[in-house]
Each structure stands twice: as C-alpha cells, then as structure tokens.
Amino acid sequence: METDYAIIGGGVVGLSLAWGLLRRGLTVTVLDGDDGSFRASRGNFGLVWVQSKGMNQPRYARWSQQSAAIWAEFAKELGANTGQDVPLEQRGGYDLHFSEEALEAKLAKYETLKAQLGGDYPYEVLGHNALRKEEPHIGPKVVGAILHHQDGHANPLRLLMALAADVRRMGGRVLTGKTVTDVTKPDGFRIACADGTIVRVGKVILSAGLGAAELGPRMGFKAPVRAQRGQVLITEKLPKLINRPSLIARQVDEGGIQIGATNEEVGLDDRVTQPGLSGLAAKAIAAYPALAKAQLVRSWGALRVLSPDGLPIYQESATMPGAFLVTCHSGITLAAAHANLMPDWLEGRDAAPNLEVFSEDRFAVS
C-alpha cells in the first residue's frame, strides 16, 4: 500500500479530511481534477452557517453547531502552521424578511427546532428599527430579521489555500490533473486514472462532489447527488456597508460585497444569465438600497452538490468495506468537523460522532 488513504477529490471536503487524517499520523494521497473542473469549493458563498440547517433533522442542526463551535480554533491552527491567515468572523448572521407572514412562519419553525435541541439555539428577532441600529444601511422594505448568534462567514478561498499548504506540509501526497476512472478492491484498493496512473491504498474516501454520481455506484454507493446552480455576484471594493452576513449579501474581508444566490435546476451548466443577475441585484437593492450605485465586477455560477433532502451523506460501502462516501453542500461550515471529528468515524474509533442519520439507508425505497 502506498498510503493508508486515498481521497478522491481535492476540494474543501477532501482536503479537510486529508488534513484530519494526516494529523492523526496516517498517510494520505489526494487525487484532484484539473483547472476546468466544476469546483463548488471555489464558487461558494463562504458562510459558516448554523441557522436554517436541519429544520427537519435536529441532528444536522447539531452537527452544524459542533462544526461552527470549533471553526475558530481550526482556522487559527491552519494559520499558525502555514503562515497563511484564514479570515473568519463569527458575530452572528441574519435571515432577512420582507414580509411579516414569512417572518412569523420561520420563527415558528425555529421555536420547534430550539425545543428539539434542548434550548441550545441562540437566536433573536429584530424588528425593522432594531435591525436599523445594527445595520444602518438596511432598506425600508426589510420588515425584520432573525439574528442567529452562531452564524458567521469566512474567506473560503483562503481556507482552501491554507489546507492545500498544510496538507503538503504534513506530507500529504497531492496528485493533480487526475480523473479517476475505476476503483477496485483486489486486496486493498486499486485506483486507476485516465492518464494511466495507478494508486494502491488501504482505504478510499470519495469526496468528489458531483463526480460521485458517476463513480459512486461503481463503489457500492447510491450517491444520489445532483447539481443545483447558484449564480453569485460580487461588487467592487466598497467602504463598510454591511456588518453581518445573510444569504442575500455579505461584505467580504477584501471589501467587495457578495450577493447570492439563485437556486436553479439546470444540470451541469455553471453559466450566468442576465435575468439571474438582474433578479439578484434587485433583491440586494431591496435589502440595502445604497447598493444601487455599486459596480458589479464579477459574477459566476457554481453548482451546489445536493442530496435529495439537502443533508450530507456519510456512508461506508457495504460491497467495498473501507470505501467511504463523504459529500455535502455545506463544505465550508462543516470543514472544521470534517477535519477534527470525521477521522474518528473513518477509523472506527469509540470517540466517533454518531452520523447514522446521514447514511444512505434513508434513501431506501420502502
């Protein structure tokens, strides 16, 4: 065996897992695609987000909370190891509302979830005037917001870069430009790539985002992941306008304001459209009217990796024990958990978190 693990997919999920395993003294080979691959790790909104997760599955809300709670320490460690800062701000985040009815409906759901979590779900409701004190630039159409204190945002690209550096520093072997074509288990795992590269390892993790749809079934997984496009806008660098992030807009550490996002089922199409951009611009201006004069500098479409219920999938293969599927659409929020808590699960340790609810059993046809 060349290394203990091979990780197929070098995005934030794959690199977080690689990092965690390397820290436990295990050896890792990461197989990553090329410059043109769809990379959700490169196109996301950078939120480290607790609210709205697991509205129908408290265990997912809890998992998100656990990750958010250890994110700062994770970022600090990456920064100290690599000399590369991973900007993070966790001062809460908003769910902004333009109608009282929608706000009330959401609140009812949050109340239910809070009860299921034994009261550990710290949020408060801000009416327009209270919100205005926190966000001087909020527009008149915003009737109020739910402020959840465990929310925050990070610089996802710096996270990715720091992970790439630290994985290498710890001796992780990273092979780039690789397309995995086949995974077999003669004894141990044999991974074959399109360019003829063969890698032999003890265990395999499939964390290739949308790539799992094709490769997964051949490894004994259902891998029911699909693409959902989110168009995102980013403005020129601006003076401070937005204090806390929301799904509508956040001001990134470099000064630009990021505006998101659409939810489109268009297959593997990551282009942007004028109607998509215009709709997002209109919503952002409704929330923060001062943005009308801001210049849009860039836009992109990124493909979310969605399971049918939107929750992560963590599954060991029944037909190929030692092969694991790890996929989610909140790779940034869950990066800290993937790095610090998942290795115990992969290694079958007692300290492993209970991730039953994320198994593929839930997709069984009854």
Partner 1 sequence: MKTASPFLEPDDGGTRVEVSLDGAPLLLSEGANLAAALLAAGVEVFRHTKVTGAPRAPFCMMGACYDCLVEIDGVVRQACMTEVSPGLRINRPHEAEAHDDPA
Partner 2 sequence: MIRRDLVIIGAGPAGMAAAARAAELGLSVSILDEQLRAGGQIYRDVDRAAALRGDILGKDYKHGATLTDGLRRADIDHLPGAVVWAIEEGFRISYSQDGQGAQIAAARVLLATGALERPMPLPGWTLPGVMTAGAGQILLKQSGVLARNAVLVGSGPLLYLIAAQMIRAGTPPAAMIETQGRGDIISAMRHLGGALRGWPYLLKGMKMLAEIRRARVPRFTGAQGIAIEGETRAEAVTLTSAGHSRRIACDTVFLHHGVVPNTQAARSLGVGHEWDHLQNCFVPALDEWGQSDVAGVFIAGDGAGIGGAKAAEYAGGLAALKIAEELGRLDPAACMEQAAPLRAALARERAPRAFLDAAYPPCVEALAPADNTIVCRCEEITAGDIRRYASLGCLGPNQAKAFGRAGMGPCQGRFCGLTVTALLAKANGRTPDETGHFRIRPPLKPVTLGELAAMDSQMQDAAE
Judged by the rule CB under 8 A, the positions of this chain that interact with partner 2 are 10, 32, 34-36, 39, 42, 157, 160-161, 164-165, 168, 174, 176-177, 233, 235-236, 254, 259, 271-275, 277-279, 281-282, 284-285, 291-301
- Collapsing DSSP states into helix, strand and coil, what is residue 58? helix
| Cβ closest to partner 1, residue 72 vs residue 170 | 72
227 to each of 210, 261, 290, 308, how far by Cα in Å? Answer: 7, 14, 33, 11
| Cβ closest to partner 1, residue 170 vs residue 238 | 238
76: closest CA among 152, 171, 154?
154
* Binding-site partner at residue 87 among partner 2, partner 1, none, CB < 5 to 8 Å by type: partner 1
* Binding-site partner at residue 239 among partner 2, partner 1, none, CB < 5 to 8 Å by type: partner 1
| Cβ closest to partner 2, residue 112 vs residue 263 | 263
Q: In terms of DSSP H, where are the helices of 36-125?
A: 40-43, 58-82, 100-116
Write the burial class of residue 198 (CB in 10 Å: 0-12 exposed, 13-18 middle, 19+ buried): exposed
CB of 251: closest distance to partner 2 in angstroms? 14
CB of 308: closest distance to partner 1 in angstroms? 37
CB of 174: closest distance to partner 2 in angstroms? 5
| Cβ closest to partner 2, residue 72 vs residue 238 | 238
330 to each of 54, 163, 277, 327, 341, how far by Cα in Å? Answer: 12, 17, 23, 9, 16
* Binding-site partner at residue 165 among partner 1, partner 2, none, CB < 5 to 8 Å by type: partner 2
- Collapsing DSSP states into helix, strand and coil, what is residue 322? coil
Separation between Cα atoms, residue 3 and residue 174, nearest integer Å: 12
**Contact residues: partner 1, CB under 8 A:** 87, 89, 91, 236-240, 251, 253-255, 293, 295
CB of 234: closest distance to partner 2 in angstroms? 8
* Binding-site partner at residue 85 among partner 2, partner 1, none, CB < 5 to 8 Å by type: none
* Binding-site partner at residue 273 among partner 1, partner 2, none, CB < 5 to 8 Å by type: partner 2
| Cβ closest to partner 1, residue 33 vs residue 245 | 245
Separation between Cα atoms, residue 203 and residue 190, nearest integer Å: 10
The dihedral through the CA atoms of 74, 75, 76, 77 has a sign that is: positive
| Cβ closest to partner 1, residue 33 vs residue 256 | 256
Write the burial class of residue 35 (CB in 10 Å: 0-12 exposed, 13-18 middle, 19+ buried): exposed
